Amino acid sequence: MVVPLEMGWRHLLFENWPVEPSVVDAHLPDALTVDVHDGHAWLSAVPFTNVAVRPRGFPARVGIRLPELNLRTYVTCDGEPGVYFFTLDAQGLLSVAGARLFQHLPYRYARISLELDDGRVRFASRRCQPGTRPARYEATYWPTGEPFAAPEDPLAEFLVERYRFFTESPDGTLRYTGVDHDPWTLYPATADIETDTLLTAEGFARPDADPVYYYSPGLDVEAAVSRRWSEFPGDA
């Protein structure tokens, strides 16, 4: 990323599976360590839409909308927690190209729709980028129960209260990007997953355990520029 960005994340489903740490570790750069909760690593599929994506300081009206589906896990580096993305499928061709070039993120171009229907979110994604494994994800999801602050629940806090993500550049350099936002407000959620080949497309067997679902209406986010991990303030 060459400039800091502002955006909104809206209508998110967090679909989370507990897995053995070795399942995740086999897919990580050597510099990263699997982060665990109650002895499990976690894989999460997250469909949502970005709104008003723009350089920091620009008005929201000039921003673009970018529907997205990502598959991620939770890691540490030198004891510092963060997120690692296995894939990010997104609608915008130019945005996908820019994120791959400047943030070293594994974005893939996809055709995505997200619609609201009587309190439910209808989401459909079909990966279209040549040279990649096909992946489809179709789901309807909605909130149930009462809202709660993620930091009040240990598992929810582990899964969503993350303020950096790690990437690896083509030369193997570990990089990180800081993100800043208010604490998450979540709802318990129900999801009807009609089609999901995302996990298998990224080399994972579908977990035996039932997923844990959370929904969030969203929040606003600022993302810093990508930096080498050797520049992290906590490093000696």
* Tokens matching residue 16: 């989370």
Domains in the chain: how many in total?
A: 1
The tokens for 159 are 């899964």
Cα–Cα distance for residue pair 228/2, rounded to 1 Å? 13
User: Quick check: is 236 in a domain?
Assistant: no
d(CA 146, CA 186) in angstroms, rounded, equals 9
Residues 6+ apart with CB under 8 A from 235: 78, 229
Query: What was the pLDDT predicted at 93?
Result: 52
Strand partners for 164: 178
Highest mean pLDDT among 62-66, 167-171, 188-192: 188-192
Q: In this structure, is residue 11 part of a structural domain?
A: yes
111: domain range? Answer: 5-231
> Among residues 46, 139, 130, which one has the least CA distance to residue 88?
46
Distance, CA of 141 to CA of 139 (rounded, Å)? 6
In a domain? residue 162: yes
47-79 confidence digits (pLDDT tens): 999 999 989 999 999 998 999 999 999 999 999
**pLDDT value at position 94?**
54
Alpha-carbon distance of 152 to 214, in angstroms, equals 14
Q: 107-117 and 120-127 as β-strands: parallel, antiparallel, unpaired?
A: antiparallel
CATH code at position 108: 2.40.400.10
- Is 154 inside any structural domain? yes
Of 9, 203, 234, 33, nearest to 106 by C-alpha is: 203
Across the chain, how many H-helices and E-strands are there? Answer: 4, 14
Q: What is the pLDDT of residues 194-234, one digit of tens each?
A: 999 999 999 999 999 999 999 999 999 999 999 999 988 86
Q: What is the pTM of this model?
A: 0.94
Q: In this structure, what are the phi and psi dihedrals at residue 228, rounded to the nearest 5 degrees?
A: -65, 140
